[in-house]
């Protein structure tokens, strides 16, 4: 999906006018007596806003200049006169239009960086939905896909919680993702992921459909979620079960934490240390509490408003992974890629880029 560049240029023209107004106001204040405290404060506010806008406005003015020069060259290429001169003007006009495209791409980057969401470390939870064994196996597939994508994007991951099934799959798994672009890369993954494939136990070759739910939760900062009172927590320790190496099954290192006011329960048994398991379980619990709080706020503001691209309503199917056709379809933006193996191997960027473009277009459409 292409960005509506005309709308972007209108936004930039508005910022350009604001920049010129700030320059005039700052120059007017600079000519006044400097000992007046109120004047100094206003002058500092103007110069601070000017500095924040300068790179974007200067790039826009360059775009405007190149646009004018390209128009002049194109007019000359159609004028009466020397044929060689017209050909030179035509080539110059084409080069200037290419330069304009590059500048526009940079303007898009700068404009959206100005309005970008803040970075957050994340906690991603993947849970098996309908489909029994196939769903639990696909939890592991998505976990591998996400960790490979994170590694390729120079992001770090940390396993926080996992619950295996007796058949060897995963009932659920939670892990943290940290790095400068974590939120921008993973925020679109919240929702129901559907897998269509023939199970190894299917004798007649019938395709089964299963679902897995993914939740992408910003890890709470202290300012967003205050400490949880100890009276609200019910903490149990017990002996770990399942694979985990020598020693993990012989001590009471597993931790289960129940949040009394909400009934949320988190268990963690992946570490040998009870303290580490408790620390990880508390991180997951805090993320779930913040997610619930934010969801309640959103519901109060607009209970009947559909979520836009990037918010990922969990009750809705957002993506299908079809193994027989080797394709992946993102239903929010209507994009299908016949690259199932590559995507499951962590090559998610093409899908993410398409989702980013769709969200940017919606952002521009929503701005007054």
Model pLDDT for residues 129-152, shown as the tens digit of each residue: 988 889 999 999 999 999 999 999
- Region of 165 please: left (phi>0), alpha (psi -120 to 50) or beta: beta
pLDDT tens by residue, the chain, 368 residues? 333 467 778 888 888 999 999 898 888 887 776 545 556 778 888 888 888 888 889 999 999 999 999 988 888 888 877 888 888 888 998 999 999 888 888 887 777 766 666 567 788 999 999 888 899 999 999 999 999 999 998 889 999 888 888 877 899 999 999 887 788 889 899 999 999 998 876 767 788 999 999 998 887 665 456 678 888 888 888 876 654 444 444 567 788 888 988 888 888 887 778 888 888 888 888 888 877 877 775 565 344 333 433 333 344 689 999 999 999 999 999 999 999 999 999 999 999 989 988 877 776 665 54
What is each CA distance from 364 to 153, 214, 302, in whole angstroms? 27, 28, 20
Q: Where are the domains of the chain?
A: 5-114, 122-363
CATH no. for 122-363: 3.30.70.1660
In angstroms, rounded to a whole number, what is the distance separating the alpha carbons of residues 124 and 94?
47
DSSP 12-75: HHHHHHHHHHHHHHHHHHHTS-TT-HHHHHHHHHHHHHHHHHHHHHHHHHHHHHHHHHHHHHHH
């Amino acid at each position: 999906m292409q960005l509506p560049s005309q709308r972007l240029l209108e936004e930039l023209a508005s910022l350009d006018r604001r920049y010129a107004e700030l320059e005039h106001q700052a120059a007017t204040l600079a000519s006044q007596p400097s000992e007046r405290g109120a004047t100094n404060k206003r002058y500092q506010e103007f110069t601070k806003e000017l500095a924040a806008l300068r790179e974007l406005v200067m790039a826009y003015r360059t775009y405007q200049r190149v646009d004018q020069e390209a128009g002049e060259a194109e007019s000359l290429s159609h004028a009466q006169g020397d044929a060689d001169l017209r050909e030179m003007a035509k080539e110059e006009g084409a080069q200037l239009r290419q330069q304009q495209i590059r500048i526009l791409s940079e303007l898009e980057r700068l404009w959206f960086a100005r309005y970008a969401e803040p970075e957050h470390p994340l906690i991603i939870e993947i849970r098996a939905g309908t489909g029994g064994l196939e769903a639990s196996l696909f939890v592991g597939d998505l976990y591998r896909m996400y960790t490979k994508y994170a590694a390729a994007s120079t992001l770090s991951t940390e396993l926080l919680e996992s619950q295996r099934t007796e058949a060897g799959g995963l009932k659920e798994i939670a892990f943290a993702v940290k790095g400068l672009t974590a939120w921008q890369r993973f925020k679109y993954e919240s929702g129901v992921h559907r897998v269509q494939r023939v199970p190894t136990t299917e004798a007649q070759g019938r395709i089964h459909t299963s679902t897995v739910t993914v939740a992408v939760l910003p890890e709470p900062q202290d300012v967003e979620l205050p400490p949880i009172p100890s009276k609200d927590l019910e903490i149990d320790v017990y002996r770990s079960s399942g694979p985990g190496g020598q020693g993990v099954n012989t001590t009471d290192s597993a931790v289960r934490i129940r949040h009394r006011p909400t009934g949320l329960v988190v268990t963690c048994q992946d570490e040998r240390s009870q303290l580490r398991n408790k620390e990880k379980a508390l991180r997951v619990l805090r993320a779930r509490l913040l997610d619930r709080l934010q969801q309640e706020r959103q519901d109060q503001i607009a209970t009947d408003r559909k979520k836009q691209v990037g918010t990922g309503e969990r009750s809705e199917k957002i993506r299908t992974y079809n193994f027989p056709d080797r394709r992946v379809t993102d239903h929010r933006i209507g994009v299908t890629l016949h690259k199932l193996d590559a995507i499951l191997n962590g090559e998610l960027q093409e899908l993410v880029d398409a989702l980013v473009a769709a969200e940017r277009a919606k952002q521009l459409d929503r701005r007054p």
